[in-house]
Amino acid sequence: MSFLLKLVLGGIIILATNLSHATEPLLLIPGMVFHPGKPDPTWGHRSMVNGSFQWTGTIGFLQRNGYRFGGYLQVEGAGQHSRISLNAVGADAPARNANFFVLRFSPNAAIEGLTVKGQEIAQAIAELKRQVMF
């Protein structure tokens, strides 16, 4: 079984295939972060609408088009002591059944630049593979 991870930079989404039936997950990766530690409005926020929770922004758009949100991959800590975890609050499906996730960089990544972002992307891919591949 092959594992293909599609990286989307800067909130630009290319929907070349019907991901609602895809087995490989899509990892949305933020571009520039202007306010480290605060939610990025590009992805959206979850709020109560007519008695049920709904997402706005990119997450909401993808959900309305049949895609299943698996949650946020969040980096905690800094440097060699950082770790990544899946925050599934607001997810549509368990990680194994979801077809898109969002990476949240650590505040340190916005300050330190590409090296730290590259390390955090690598950690996110490893964690996503662990979550999805059993």
**Would residue 13 count as lying in a domain?**
no
CA 63 to chain CA mean position, Å: 13
**Would residue 124 count as lying in a domain?**
yes
pLDDT value at residue 8: 38
**Would residue 73 count as lying in a domain?**
yes
- Tell me the pTM: 0.75
pLDDT value at residue 44: 85
pLDDT value at residue 110: 72
Comparing 29 with 1, which gets the higher pLDDT? 29
Q: Is the pLDDT of residue 85 over 70?
A: yes
**Would residue 45 count as lying in a domain?**
no
- The token duo for 33 is 């972060």
The number of domains in the chain is: 1
pLDDT value at residue 23: 62
**Would residue 38 count as lying in a domain?**
no
**Would residue 63 count as lying in a domain?**
yes
**Would residue 111 count as lying in a domain?**
yes
Domain range enclosing 108:
1-8+24-31+50-92+99-134
Q: Which of 5-9, 44-48, 76-80, 91-95 has the highest mean pLDDT?
A: 91-95
- How many whole angstroms separate alpha carbon 5 and alpha carbon 25? 6
